[in-house]
Structure 1
Amino acid sequence: MKNASIVPKSSLDFLSQLKENNNKVWFDANKSNYQTELNYIQTFADDLLKELSKTDVLETASGKKSVYRIYRDIRFSKDKTPFKTFWGGSFTRATKERRGGYYFHLEAGNSFLAGGFWGPNAADLKRIRAEFGHDPKPMRKILEAKSFVSTFGNLQGEQLKTAPKGFDVQHEAIDLLRYKQFLVIKRFTDEEVLAHNFVEQATETFQKMRPFFDYMSEILTTDINGASVL
């Protein structure tokens, strides 16, 4: 990969300053600094999108479109601070055949890449559980693969405390059946984020999610007999 953009230290430093001064007066006074750093992040996201698009089909139009707004929605939150203190963005896989999405979160001391299914609807969750209940082996093979374990560790996400409706607590796949979210996450140090090859590292990390994404896509686009539902 040639001439890939980097995440400059100033972009993380700006967030640290914003965290200490999370108010409109300070932000307005530093709006030009914000715009400078946002441009760096959008360029980084553009490069990452270009690399991901070599091996996947994405509907996100540009790096700029992928980056989340810095302004928080505080209407229903007890936390009334007006600004996010991280750079975040996501890339959505295209068409009904490809499920899942890629997410990046950049913040001093708390940077990570993630992907998966944050809030599957009731129908999707029912279909996923039906598949795991019928035959958990394909998913276990993915989650136990050396590449997956060394990169992501374990499947993450909110879980039920007991068995979901229709399944026995002693079911062989109860550990999978309890999940309400299906997430894979890899954390990075500040040094790794600021390195010249972070776009490459991020691309490789996202690519390692593909077996998980592709199998979940297969589940969500077929019935229990494997026939297409699209």
Structure 2
Amino acid sequence: MDSKFLLDFLRDLAANNHKAWMDEHRADYHRARAVFSGLVQAVLEGTQRFEPALLGLTVPETMFRINKNDRFQQSQEPYKRHMGASLTQGGRHAPRAGYFLAVQPGGETWVGAGKWHPEPAALARIRQEIHYSGPAFHALRATDDFRRHFPAGLEGDRLLRPPKGYEKDDPDIELLKFKDFVVTKSFTDAEVRHADFVARVTETFQAAQPFVRFLNEAMEE
């Protein structure tokens, strides 16, 4: 797996982020995408060994396009600076919690797990489950594995005030203010190029499995 080529291509793309350059380097793009596809395949196979919800999922169902989505574009650059995939039951756009991988040079590679921007009804169910099952939610986040891989804990946008229906003195109010329920871990370029990168990613995902399962069970109708 030529991770160095993938990182080099993405670094060059960041420095030349326009259509003319991409057209000229289309063959390199396809080669880099093939490298990333192979990486995702290896991570998916490793994750499927402990996450039965992902059985039957294929790599094409997980990978995001490198073209930016105009609805979320924050710059004039037409291409993302990373290649990404979402290992989620039902595919990358499924409304479920899952596992994420994004490769970007400069130490910006990260993996994560959880649910980013759940729909309002799903968000309400997550909050309700945390409110009802606070001890279980705290316990799964307090394991040695979880804390070792995700020392920063939950990340994402938060409300400034308690969500509707919850009191400000609720013991879990700071958790209930979250609008995203995601944990992440970063990797250096050297770590991405190392032979054990796939194993380290799948180990990280395995540490997050109870968290992902809690969220998906909470979001079920």
Q: Is TM (by shorter chain) over 0.5? A: yes
Asked if 1 retains the 8 angstrom alpha-carbon contact of 2:113 and 2:183, the reply is yes
The one-letter amino acid of 2:166's match is F
Asked if 2 retains the 8 angstrom alpha-carbon contact of 1:59 and 1:94, the reply is no
Residues in 1 aligned to 2:73 and 2:129: alpha-carbon distance in whole angstroms: 36
Question: Unpaired runs of 5+ in structure 2?
Answer: none
Distance 1:112 1:75, change over 3 A: closer
Residues in 2 aligned to 1:30 and 1:74: alpha-carbon distance in whole angstroms: 23
**Between Structure 1 and Structure 2, whose CA radius of gyration is higher?**
1
Mapping for residues 32-111 of structure 1, pairs under 5 Å: 32-56=27-51, 57-58=53-54, 61-74=57-70, 77-93=73-89, 99-108=96-105, 109-111=107-109
Identity of aligned residues (%): 31
| TM-score, normalised via structure 1 length | 0.86
Asked if 2 retains the 8 angstrom alpha-carbon contact of 1:46 and 1:64, the reply is no
Q: Secondary structure at the match of 1:185?
A: strand
Residues in 1 aligned to 2:146 and 2:72: alpha-carbon distance in whole angstroms: 37
Deviations 1:36-80 (A, max 9, x none): 111111111111111111221216642233221111123563512
Residue in 1 that maps onto 2:192: 193
RMSD: 2.0
The one-letter amino acid of 1:34's match is Y
Asked if 2 retains the 8 angstrom alpha-carbon contact of 1:7 and 1:193, the reply is no
The one-letter amino acid of 2:66's match is I
Deviations 1:78-114 (A, max 9, x none): 512111111111111259xx94111101001200001
Residue in 2 that maps onto 1:20: 15
Distance 1:84 1:76, change over 3 A: closer
Residue in 2 that maps onto 1:210: 209
Q: Secondary structure at the match of 2:178?
A: coil
How many corresponding residue pairs?
Answer: 215
Residues in 1 aligned to 2:103 and 2:117: alpha-carbon distance in whole angstroms: 22
Residue 132 of structure 1 deviates from its aligned partner by 2.2
| TM-score, normalised via structure 2 length | 0.90
The one-letter amino acid of 2:118's match is P
Q: Secondary structure at the match of 1:209?
A: helix
Question: Unpaired runs of 5+ in structure 1?
Answer: 1-5, 222-228
Deviations 1:159-205 (A, max 9, x none): 11111111111111111111111001111111111111111111111
